[in-house]
Amino acid sequence: MRTAKSLLLALVILSPISAFAYTSDEVKATTVIKEHQASVQKYAALHNKPMPEIKEYTYGMKLDVAKLVRKSPDLQTCSVMPKLMTYEDSKGKLNTVQYQVLGGCRNSQ
């Protein structure tokens, strides 16, 4: 009985910590996307180009990258996070693709 109570107490104490970590990663992902889009918006306005919509990258997707405009930064997190890349194609059109990467987890190094 004492062991069961100890396990229950540990579960109650640790549950909010894991929930916080997940929420923190969501906030980081949202912030990265917003900052990327704000930067691309400035670039598009400066070069008189329309703002590109975000397209989800799929394996084998053909990318016509003539000029890299912006790539979102790597995050120090232990989970899979979205990353954005905006580029101009050979016709000068802006494109943004979103793909998933495993964050640079400090615990795994």
CB 90 within 8 A of CB 64: yes
Given this model, what pLDDT does residue 26 score? 85
Shortest CA distance to 99 belongs to which of 48, 33, 38?
33
Please tell me the distance from the alpha carbon of residue 40 to that of residue 70, in angstroms, as a whole number: 7
- Burial classification of residue 86, based on how many CB atoms lie within 10 Å of its CB (0-12 exposed, 13-18 middle, 19 or more buried): buried
Class of domain 2-108: mainly beta
Given this model, what pLDDT does residue 4 score? 61
Kindly give the confidence (pLDDT) of every residue in the chain, 109 residues in length, as a single tens digit, with 9 standing for 90 and above.
Answer: 676 665 555 555 555 544 444 457 788 889 889 999 999 999 999 999 999 999 999 999 999 999 999 999 887 778 888 999 999 999 999 999 999 988 777 665 4
pTM here?
0.72
